[in-house]
Amino acid sequence: MNGIIIAGVIVGVVGIIVGVLLGVASEAFKVEVDQRVIDVRAELPGNNCGGCGYAGCDGLAAAIVAGDAKCDQCPVGGSAVGAKIAAIMGMEASSSEPNVAFVKCAGTCDKAGRKYNYYGVDDCLKAVLVPGGGSKICSYGCLGLGSCVKVCNFDSIHIVNGIAKVNAATCKGCTACANACPKHLIDMVPVSAMQKSLVECASQDKGKTVKDACDAGCIGCGACKKQCDEGAIEIVNNVAVIDYAKCTGCGKCAAKCPRKIIKFGGKPAV
């Protein structure tokens, strides 16, 4: 009986000593956390989408406090969250314009020609490895298998009639879909660009080759460029490219395009 009591006392004493040592060690090796990191992290939405360029919201919070990232660098939180974080950091809130995703392809099932019927895995990252870069004649076109849809946490992109379509009203500009597209067909554009002109094509082929492949392909004719008084359009690698900073949204380019592949969302063309 005495042995049990002695053993119990020893265990208790050892427990107390270990507890004291752990307490001392925790204080000695404690890592001080800047309260601002905690406060900034609390304002971030917690999607951990990676659109900010960091692995997650924790990484972005630490980077903001360290001065390595901007207060409004979270694309999901936008300017509202950016303003709150700027207040925590004692800085002026910036007024940068948010971006949304835009798919540079209008090659729907009824417009894009096909080399063969694809019956493989519904994944663009795998289908692009098939000879010819997919079943479409146009090797630049949207594969329509939804790899972009799978990575969107906001239900803002869907496959409609064989191509990816973005709901700009719900898109947070996180870039997940753009990063997932093996054809690099998804651009991040300023929200205001949705009320201007956007080229729904990324083909770098020329004239007849484009026409034989798709009824909605840019042939690089330059008719849109000639109509632009602001010098906002250039033909780069046989496809029209719009500088949204210069574009005024007059709609002249869209009205003149013989292929009708310039999406126009602003006021009526003049």
Report yes or no on whether pTM surpasses 0.85. Answer: no
In DSSP terms, 101 is beta-bridged to 188
Please, are residues 190 and 102 in contact by the beta-carbon 8 Å criterion?
Answer: no
Q: 177-206: per-residue pLDDT in tens?
A: 999 999 999 999 999 999 899 999 999 998
Indicate the pairing of strand 239-242 with strand 233-236: antiparallel
Q: Indicate the residue type of 242.
A: I
Please, are residues 134 and 111 in contact by the beta-carbon 8 Å criterion?
Answer: no
| Three-state secondary structure call for residue 254 | helix
Q: 117-156: per-residue pLDDT in tens?
A: 888 788 999 888 887 788 899 999 999 999 999 999 999 9
Is the Cα torsion angle 110, 112, 116, 122 positive or negative in sign? negative
